[in-house]
Amino acid sequence: MLRQTVDARPYAAPYGIAVRTAFEPIEKSVQPFRGKERTFSPNAELFSEGEPADCVYKIIRGAVRSYKVLGEGRRKIEAFRLRGDVFGFDSGKAREFCAEAIDDVCVLIARRNTVVGAADYETIRELWEASARELKRVQQHALLLAMTAPQRMACFLIEMSRRLGGHPIVELPMPRQDIADYLGLSIETVSRTFARFEASGLISLPTSRHIVLRDADVLQRMHE
């Protein structure tokens, strides 16, 4: 499994000189992202599947889940968007996925048509590179889904630790159900695997949302 730095690192494109209500130079971002600031309560919908894809988002605070409903009450979470992530630059006109706030979320929103409509070579090239990064991420996720439950969980923990700042103490923003739907497992399997990891001394679980990685190396090797 590759260790390519599948960018949790968002990338801030020069999107839009849109209706400039806010200006935020985000750390980690080379370029500033301009857009309207907006907040969402837990489980509020940022956008839904099929809706016109005319905005690009950058997360200032909180976490977002991007998912698709599969009928019969099943749901597949395609991505977690965390603080600093830029997302929503789909190529098509309509959203492929739903996006929902997991906790209290604050985002910057920029109009997309100011970007795509603009005959700006550099901008389109940035968009292409953003798509390519996203592609890599999804490929990584597809590989993950071909592994065993412990491997998926290890993969998930390492990914979250890295994306949340690289600390061994991970504060998960999402409930077990979200993890399950992201990894293609049942909620019980997620819970049991955490328990087994703890029993093996790989992690500690002070609370259900706080995970301490005690042996990141073993977790890392578990899925390579």
In whole angstroms, give the CA distance from residue 114 to residue 122.
14
**Residue tagged 């592609």 (tokens):** 135
Segment contacting DNA by CB under 7 A, of 24-32, 54-62, 88-96, 147-155: 147-155
- Contacts of 165 by beta carbon, 8 Å cutoff, 6+ apart: none
**Residue 190 contact among DNA, a copy of itself, none, beta carbon within 5 to 8 Å by kind:** DNA
Half-sphere exposure at residue 46, Cβ-oriented, CA atoms within 13 angstroms: 35
In whole angstroms, give the CA distance from residue 140 to residue 118.
32
Contact positions toward a copy of itself, by CB under 8 A? 1-2, 4, 68, 70-71, 76, 78, 90-92, 96, 119-121, 124-125, 127-129, 131-136, 138-139, 141-143, 145-146, 184, 224
Least distance in Å: CB of 197 to DNA? Answer: 10
Burial class of 78 by CB neighbour count within 10 A (0 to 12, 13 to 18, 19+):
middle
Binding test (CB under 7 A) with DNA, winner from 21, 41, 48, 177: 177
**Residue 76 contact among DNA, a copy of itself, none, beta carbon within 5 to 8 Å by kind:** a copy of itself
Nearer to a copy of itself, 78 or 103 (CB): 78
Segment contacting DNA by CB under 7 A, of 18-26, 58-66, 102-110, 206-214: 206-214
Binding test (CB under 7 A) with DNA, winner from 34, 95, 111, 176: 176
**Residue 173 contact among DNA, a copy of itself, none, beta carbon within 5 to 8 Å by kind:** none
Tell me the backbone φ, ψ of residue 30, rounded to 5 degrees: -70, -40
Nearer to a copy of itself, 6 or 46 (CB): 6
Identify the helix (H) or strand (E) that includes residue 69: strand 64-69
What tokens does 178 get? 């979200």
